[in-house]
Amino acid sequence: MAVKVKRALISVSNKIGLLKFSEVLQSLGVEIVSTGGTYKQLSEAGLKVLRVEELTNFPEMMNGRLKTLHPNVHGAILADRSKPEHLEQASQAGMKLIDMVVVNLYPFKETVAKEGVTLQEAIENIDIGGPTMLRSAAKNHKSVAVVVDPEDYEKIADELVKNGGCINDSTLFALSIKAFQHTCEYDSVIFNWLSNRYSSLKETDYKDSGVFVRNYLKIDCTKAENEFIDTYGAHNIKDAQGNFNKSINLKFEKIKDLRYGENPHQKAAYYRYAGTGDECLAASVQLQGKELSFNNILDTNAAFAIVKEFESPTVAIIKHNNPCGVSCATTVTQAYFNAHGADPLSAFGGVVACNYKWTTDAARFMSDKFVEVLIAPDFEAEALDILKSRENLRVLKIKFNLAEHLSAIKSPGYISVYPDLKGIDGGLLVQDLDEGLASSEVLETVTAAKPSRSQIDDMLFAWQIIKNVKSNAILLAKNKTTTGVGTGQMSRVDSARLATEKAGENAKGSVLASDAYFPFTDAVEIALKAGIAAIIQPGGSVHDKDIIELCNKNSIPMVFTGKRHFKH
């Protein structure tokens, strides 16, 4: 089965390749019907073209808003050629059947990307007739070819020439799917942009509508609320009250295909949120090195998630999505030296992230170490020269303003800008990211011994990191540097044992952070034997009293946070 193309309706905004394609159609005897600027271009090029008004017997009006929305257009597209009654009704109505629809839509995305675009300009670039024709043709794909992508012109022309003006069923079906994808994405862009405009609308703009819109449109929003609308609103994840919607509409754009996924037998690709800003990992720029792998990207994301929440120069080293060394210091070089020294064996082949400009001295220290990825907001020129000698080292520069980010996450009622999505078999789990800063004000000292100022600083440092460690998690820290990390164990006792063994002698005097409460005293007993000096944990166990008594017996201060940091 195939469709013989006798008449084509062409109406496009993107005219790349159109003239050559139209010439092929006309050489095959296809009658071309067109509108507006498309008609002008084709007729001026010497092609014989009918105006759409000659099919509709109805003039174009309302500044082009109304031209193809007519039964003589849509009946001519929708008539099912396999049904005699459809053909008879079309004939009685004087319809001239259309066998091909070549349409791409008003450039809404390109229009709203321009600086200073007004709402009215955007509205006028919302195509109505185009998507309607595409959907009509795609629905009736067994009878009509629908073409939305100029890149398809050449292969369609080749097929038409080869088949004497006919297009086969498999091509028709593939084109229909592409058309539905095109209209879906087009509507999504419109929805996203209009959602983002909520914060700029005035309640008075709609005062006569009888609808109280302030809560819905979030007028007089704080910066955090605006970011919430820009992200959650744009992707239809939450409503204006912060509740998750009954359905969500996520829009991603492919960055590139990856060599493979977590393992070589798994195909993989890299995407970013459509319309997302520049201050995110997906928008980072690779300055040198081999192509990023699936695992590189995951580990880099985990590493930068740690350092971006510290005010001082901070370096994190990630291995298999867990931190093996993190340190805050007065300089980037010292932070890297400390982080690497926390667990140099695990740091081999790791990913390094920094929240400050990468220094020349830090680059020199890295020069004899095997590192997969280095990411930072900026680099000293000499540091980049040194790093260039490591051809396989992937170096990423991320556009990131630390001061603005810290100001945002310190704001009352801060909402994580991007959601955390976890795919499951046949579905999706969605949650807020576990972002934000803890302060000493939320700590409840539950022991007789009170933590010192330096211990509190180390506790907050450890607590900030442990939310990025796979549960069950135990983390030891001293002088704002990790000394031991126990991660991903099925038993908190095993995590405590692993963390203290990793720390060795450095466990003495370290503080211990636990991502969840201790169900029994056993893990604490292991830590005390290793010489830990203070504990920070959520609290909430039925055995809290026993654990507090154990700490009091050993004169160890312990604080509760009242907040858990599971990471699965």
Across 74-78, 138-142, 215-219, least confident range: 215-219
Angle between helices 153-162 and 18-27 (to 10 degrees): 10
Q: Report the distance separating Cα 295 and Cα 300, nearest Å.
A: 8
Report residue 537 as tokens.
């944990």
Q: Note the pLDDT of residue 125.
A: 73
- Over the stretch 486-519, which tens digit does the pLDDT of each residue have? 998 999 999 999 999 999 999 999 999 999 999 9
Q: Report the distance separating Cα 421 and Cα 276, nearest Å.
A: 16
Q: Note the pLDDT of residue 135.
A: 87
- Over the stretch 391-406, which tens digit does the pLDDT of each residue have? 899 999 999 989 888 8
Strands 268-273, 49-51: pairing is unpaired
323 pLDDT band (50/70/90 cuts)? very high
CATH number, span 2-193 = 3.40.50.1380
Q: Note the pLDDT of residue 234.
A: 45
Residue 235 pLDDT > 60, yes or no? no
Report residue 361 as tokens.
């001295």
Q: How far are the Cα atoms of 24, 151, 160 from residue 154, in angstroms, in the given order?
A: 10, 7, 10
Burial of 366: CB neighbours in 10 Å, binned 0-12, 13-18, 19+: buried
List the beta bridge partners of residue 32.
8, 49
- Over the stretch 92-117, which tens digit does the pLDDT of each residue have? 767 778 888 888 887 777 777 667 77
Residue 287 pLDDT > 60, yes or no? yes
Burial of 315: CB neighbours in 10 Å, binned 0-12, 13-18, 19+: buried
Domain spans, the chain: 2-193, 276-400, 440-560
Q: Note the pLDDT of residue 498.
A: 96
- Over the stretch 446-467, which tens digit does the pLDDT of each residue have? 999 999 999 999 999 999 999 9
Q: Note the pLDDT of residue 168.
A: 87
Task: Look up residue 350 and give its amino acid.
Answer: G
61 pLDDT band (50/70/90 cuts)? low
Please give the average per-residue pLDDT across 64-79, as a whole number. 68
Sheet of 474-478, strand order = 285-288, 394-397, 371-376, 350-354, 314-319, 322-328, 481-486, 474-478, 511-514, 534-537, 558-560, 444-445
Q: Note the pLDDT of residue 226.
A: 46
Which residue would you say has higher pLDDT here, 192 or 282? 282
Within 10 angstroms of residue 269's Cβ, the number of other Cβ atoms is 12
Any idea which residue has 């955007």 for tokens? 122
Contacts of 130 (CB under 8 A, 6+ apart): 11, 68, 103, 104, 105, 106
Contact 376, 398 (CB under 8 A): yes
Residue 437 pLDDT > 70, yes or no? yes
Q: Percentage of residues in the chain with pLDDT exceeding 90?
A: 46
Q: Note the pLDDT of residue 196.
A: 61
Residues annotated as part of the active site: 139, 320
Helix (H) or strand (E) holding 86: helix 84-92
Q: Note the pLDDT of residue 63.
A: 58
Residue 274 pLDDT > 90, yes or no? no
357 pLDDT band (50/70/90 cuts)? very high
C-beta contacts of 170-173 below 8 A and 24+ residues apart = 171/145, 172/3, 172/141, 172/142, 172/144, 172/145, 173/141
Residue 540 pLDDT > 50, yes or no? yes
Contact 149, 156 (CB under 8 A): no
Highest mean pLDDT among 24-28, 59-63, 474-478: 474-478
Q: Percentage of residues in the chain with pLDDT exceeding 70?
A: 85
Any idea which residue has 């996520």 for tokens? 250
Q: Note the pLDDT of residue 218.
A: 36
Tell me the pLDDT of the chain averaged across its residues. Answer: 85
Please give the average per-residue pLDDT across 229-233, as a whole number. 47
Q: Report the distance separating Cα 466 and Cα 515, nearest Å.
A: 6
Strands 371-376, 394-397: pairing is parallel
170 pLDDT band (50/70/90 cuts)? confident
Shared fold status for 2-193 and 440-560: no
Contact 44, 69 (CB under 8 A): no
206 pLDDT band (50/70/90 cuts)? very low
* CATH superfamily ID and name for 440-560: AICAR transformylase, duplication domain (3.40.140.20)
Q: Note the pLDDT of residue 66.
A: 57
Q: 276-400: what CATH class?
A: alpha beta
User: Which sign does the torsion angle of CA 251, 256, 258, 259 carry?
Assistant: positive
Q: Note the pLDDT of residue 418.
A: 73
Q: Note the pLDDT of residue 239.
A: 64
